[in-house]
Structure 1
């Protein structure tokens, strides 16, 4: 095990609740992903099985890659503002091969919004609906629940100018790799 990795691991322990903690603070999801990717990369180098090394190396690469986010929405709902609020290091805005779809809407989910959600879902892409302009529309819990029911997806009320504060935590965790999905199908 290389020294840099060993020193990162020596400072942490599992609290018994599945959370890695350091003396200073809990590790972020990105830090944990980086550690796992480092371990997988080292395993791939040392395992001696070329096919397994390719699979494990691919998983490590996927852990290091930014989450590919497709952002969609009708004109005037704040789609561009919200897309600009996503931090560039962790997210990459894309219009194809997305890991997660973010549908931006205002006031309510309309049939054309639901069509976008359905298309993403049919493609196997997890969806988050952002109910933008919540400060203007007065989005209360009932409205959020109603939008979630119509969209059949989680809904996050937001003000796009403040979106970077809350959207990062609301996005689903990284989706499993194709290898993970294949293993899941085999296990089921």
Structure 2
């Protein structure tokens, strides 16, 4: 498969907290995606993106802040997204909602999958809420999710899964589903532009 034919997947690290765990599962799922050969992975760390939390009013003549403009083409180029999220107080991080809200067309008619982590819930509360939010920006969330229950036990000190057979199998099914939707929606967008 040529580089031009590969599906482009943005892997978004949603937490910006100090001492966050998110980069570990984000790196792991990015490597799983790269190993397939049919995906081009763009790691997007919201801490590095440094999006402002104060949004402008409805005056479209005011240009977006530089950090918002810098991330926009990367999101627009993606055919799919993997959102890596913790659960905070039965919800998802404010940094992730802020990133979603700065954009619209960049999410339209594209699939979103979730890699979540938490305590006993494995981040499921965050995922269920994010499904509603992404629906509002006309994205399609896939059913399969990779969840890390009691995440502090799931990776060793080198960032490798402690149960690689199980999580790598879960990643395969997750990525198979994500790429099916990414391929189908990319073909649909090429035939007829999506209008929200």
TM-score, normalising length: structure 1:
0.49
Q: Which has the higher contact order (CA 8 A, sep 6+)?
A: 2
